[in-house]
Chains A and B, each alone.
Chain A
Amino acid sequence: MSVRSRIACRSQRLLVLLLGLAWLPPGQADPPAPRCECLVFVILGGGVRTQDALDRSRMPTLDRLAREGTLVDRVRSEARDGWAAAARLLTGADEGLNGATRRAPGVPTILEYAREGLALPREQVWFLSYDLDSDAGALAVSTHPEYGPSLAPASAPPGGPFAGPLQVLLERMGRPLPMPEAAWEPLRAMRATSRAAASVWIPRELDSRPADDERVERALLRELDRRALLVEGPNARDEAVWRAARTVLDVHTPQVLVLRLGDAEVASADATRYLSVLAANDKGLGRLLDSVEAHPTLRGRTAVVVALDRGRDERQDDQGRLRETDASRARREVMVVAWGAGLIPRRKPRGPRALEDVCPTLGALLGVPTPHARGRAWDELLVPVPPR
């Protein structure tokens, strides 16, 4: 049956017309988003099928981003494991390229490109990984002679960027108590009075904005206080990453923040638990977006890109597991969702797509060259901006 014959009546034609308008190049329909000043790149790793990631009932936040932003589906993922897939996403090249060691890629990562291209200090570029206590941190820094450790991003141990290094002290002294909300008002008053008393001689270096200081203080206390030890839910390691990410956003206002999640790998043992992990991670994404929206300088200037690293089998096996054995599309193809500043909503890149395209696309979004990436930048998704 042809499409024309299915649209029989006039009202149906009108409906199709309206739906079609929604898919017009939004460069004409919507005002272009401003330049991306902060990139949050989430690798929803561990092996996640596109169909599970886009389940509206379980993943409302990601579904919203896909609807409001751009969903790039059918992205080829041929990496042999999670590490290799993440390496491809971060470097835009095959993970086995010359110079790679057992864990460090031989080609620069988007984190190194960003630091080099935008001349960013370390604390402006972050890499947070669910397994950073192993040597997965090496993933963020290549062995490339022109890049490498001097352009390494900041990273956080599992305890968090602030609490992690303080572990020795916290074990000895204990964690602070949560501060009651009502205590902030007299505290603010005390600080304001002392500031006024010292106003005639206060050094310029200390003339910061009290609101900024308080935002940082609250974020760090949230990471430190005794409630932080309670990590609930099926995605304990991923949850630590989400928490650290919120701290980093509040404390550092970074320009690049890359999160690598991996608890979904539980699917190989238990598909039901895997779905719970996905739902919990969607909530983590929602909280992170709330932090972005509440941040005075990040709101409206942040791009969020979520990529799956690899898929899984089409069907569960007879023991309720979703493994990585078949050659189905669900296993070989993944999706990328791009949303926010610098991105044109509801665009599709042309031609075949692969994991290796993500790094050059992120580079183009940030306005930095990615000379060693082999993938193709999806320029169709990006708001054209003059070079920095």
Chain B
Amino acid sequence: MGADRRVGLRRTVGPLLFGVLAWGALEPRAEEAARLPPPPAPNWAFYEAHISAWVEDRCVECHSGGGGALRLGQGLDVAERRRRDFERLRDFVDPQAPWDSRLYLKILEPADGGEPHAGGAFLARDDEWHDRFLDFVAGATLENLPPEVWFEADEIRAQPGDAVVLDGRGSFDRDRADNEHLAYHWELLSRPAESGVRLSDRRASRMEVVPDVGGTFVLALRVSDGKVWSAPRSVTIEALHRHRQAEVVPGAVTALHTVEEALIRRLRRLYLDVLGRPPTVKEVLSEERGGVREVAQSILGRAEAGRAWVESVAAALGLYGESRPTSRAARDLALRIPAESLLPHEVEAVLARDPAFLACHPPGRALANAVAGLLLGREPTAQERELAARLAHPQVAEAEPPDAAGWIAAVCASDEFLLAALRRRLARFLPSGELDRRFESALGALRAGRPAFRAWMETLLADPVYLDRRHLRPKDDLTWLRSVFVDLLERRPTDRELVALLRALENMPPGAGARAALVRILIDSGEVPLPLLVDIEDGPRWMTDRFLRYLGRRPDSQEAQVYGRALLHPHGGPELVVYGLLTGVEYACR
């Protein structure tokens, strides 16, 4: 079977942010789906017969000395060494996505999508050994090669209302030339919070999906050859709203002027802190009637709140793009947060214990800094540095070699981690002085259990002091990015966009310069429905509307003059006014 076909397009879905699920509003999995057996894992007999000699020839020399995170060649005799090698290698295989397994990517040529490997690349896609190795990570046995899912494209762009047909009929069984005996099973893994999309026939070979709202939809297909079910393969539909001419009246203003300014600011604050994005104009107008406490309760209970929290923690831990979390626990986390009212240390521990954390911060100095800095909020101690160094270069003679995953688990179980995680969570809502003042009461609620902490959070969000502008803090990069997308395009950034944006900001110095350049890209993209100057009938009213939209207040007299001049300036206009508002110091907070 052609290697290109097996590896090519699926590699493009790899870099999607935070796991392909995007931790969106997950479709409650059908009972039937839960009954499907897991995808096949690497098989010992297949390894011994086909792979072990290859590994011993190429990998053991470096990895017997502990090169990287993999340790091979341990054991007294050949049989034991092979068995141990197999068990260690198995840890680097992801049965849910074998083609994205670290083991496979590390030895693949970078030109074919492989990852950097100190020992170099050993396989190209057209090598004779490539298919056999891929068979191994995909769970082949001596009797059967598992089937594989095949789509024409892993990522599809559409507009809400478009019918998207996903065709799984290209899937194949590696043992047989025809695919008539294959069985299919579809799952809707993720959809936007406000979507009602459901799957019609989960067993069909083709699936039609009509996105009802803008956002990311992720579906997965598994196929069976009657012996095993394949690993799932995902396809992402990005439904992007386009502002059609009929929907947007050039120069029109919204009904925000009918809403109290303080209420707009309060809603903006709640949405930004909990959902990681501002409300749309429509949401402000619909939330207007609710009480503060009710709105806080409602927002905290949304799936989107879980998604935003997980995204923030993952970004802070460096777990995005190629380092996205891979465990089932991490994938389910976004739904569990609102459903089970998880506590801060519980949420962070799931991501810290994900294999991606160790892959992103490998043993050595990087791990010491990550464990101390990212998990415990302090500098590493001398003992921690020493332990991390031992993990990077374990001594063969050591009676009890240290275990990196065990160390992280122990850290996550510590009281120091609990306190640090709570402090990080509260820092999203409170400035440092106020956080110190309220920390003990928050800790008391947390120790009393999940319902008590949830109630404490609801009380905090309804407290007028929380909304005091003196307690405003600058938005973090993730929140700021979502803000400009929602305020300008009325949608969240897609996962792919978010990865690119975070990567671009990663190396940039703090300050407004880099963010301003990003706003410029959006404004000049042609996707922001901005009017021409001649379409604006009432300039001051239009400007007031924009101030209310982006800052939750009206301009003062000085601002009205200066912004008015910019609106009429020969090199100014509506675009420059919006650019000025979104790159100003106030937007960085509100």
B-contacting residues of A (Cβ < 8 Å)? 101-102, 104, 122-123, 135, 138, 143, 145, 148-150, 154, 161-163, 165-170, 172-177, 179-180, 182-183, 186-187, 189-191, 193-198, 201-203, 205-206, 208, 212-217, 219-221, 224, 251-252
Contacts and interface: CB of A to CB of B under 8 A. Distances in A.
B500 A165 contact: yes
A123 B520 CA distance: 24
Interface stretch (B48-56, B283-291, B469-477): B469-477
The 9 closest A-B pairs by CB, nearest first: A216-B513, A190-B580, A165-B503, A173-B525, A220-B517, A186-B566, A194-B584, A176-B524, A217-B513
B579 interface: yes
Interface stretch (B143-151, B333-341, B402-410, B567-575): B567-575
8 contacts: A167-B500, A186-B576, A189-B565, A191-B584, A213-B512, A213-B513, A216-B513, A220-B513
B406 to A, nearest CB: 22
Interface of B: 110, 116, 118-120, 362, 364-366, 369, 392-393, 431, 469-470, 472-474, 496-497, 499-501, 503-504, 506-514, 516-517, 520-527, 556, 558-559, 562-563, 565-566, 569-572, 576-577, 579-581, 583-586, 588-589
A196 B513 CA distance: 19
B507 A169 contact: no
Given A162-B517, A197-B558, A201-B470, A187 B576 contact: yes
Contacts of A208: 510-512
A203 B506 CA distance: 22
B507 A213 contact: no
Contacts of A202: 585, 589
Contacts of A205: 473-474, 510
Contacts of B497: 168-169, 172
B118 A166 contact: no
| Max chain B Cβ within 10 angstroms of own Cβ: one of A122, A150, A195, A224 | A150
A197 B556 contact: yes
A99 to B, nearest CB: 10
A161 B507 contact: yes
A302 to B, nearest CB: 18
Contact of B586 (A101, A166, A198): A198
A104 B119 CA distance: 10
B570 A190 contact: no
Nearest to A219: B513
| Max chain A Cβ within 10 angstroms of own Cβ: one of B116, B362, B523, B526 | B116
A190 B584 contact: yes
A167 B500 CA distance: 8
B562 A189 contact: yes
B559 A197 contact: yes
| Max chain B Cβ within 10 angstroms of own Cβ: one of A101, A179, A208, A213 | A213
A150 B521 CA distance: 33
A197 B556 CA distance: 8
B71 to A, nearest CB: 16
Contact of A166 (B369, B473, B521, B570): B521
A169 B362 CA distance: 30
A181 to B, nearest CB: 8
Contacts of A201: 469-470, 472
B105 to A, nearest CB: 15
Contacts of B520: 176, 179, 221, 224
Given A182-B571, A190-B577, 16 more contacts: A104-B118, A145-B392, A154-B507, A174-B524, A183-B569, A189-B565, A190-B566, A191-B584, A191-B585, A193-B562, A194-B585, A205-B473, A213-B511, A213-B516, A217-B512, A219-B513
